[in-house]
Structure 1
Amino acid sequence: MEEKRKGNVQEVKEAMAAGVCAVHCLEEAKKKLEDAKYLGIWDILGGGALSSMLKHNRLEEAQESLELAGKKVKMFEKELADISVNAEIHVEIQSFEKFADIFFDNILSDWAMQEKITRASKQVDEALERIRQLLLSLQMMNQRYQKDGEEDVVWDVLEM
Structure 2
Amino acid sequence: MLSLIVAMDENNLIGNNNCMPWDIPEDLNLFKEITSNSIVIMGRKTFQSIGRPLPNRINFVLTKDKNFFHKDIQIFNCPDNALKKALSLQKITNKKIFIIGGKTIYEYFLPLINEFHFSYIKGKFFGDTFFPEINTSNFYIANTREFKDFIYIHYIKNTCNF
Q: Please state which band the TM-score falls in when normalised by the shorter chain.
A: under 0.3
More strand by share: 2
TM score, norm. by length of structure 2: 0.23
Indicate the structure (1 or 2) with the bigger Cα radius of gyration. Answer: 1
TM score, norm. by length of structure 1: 0.23
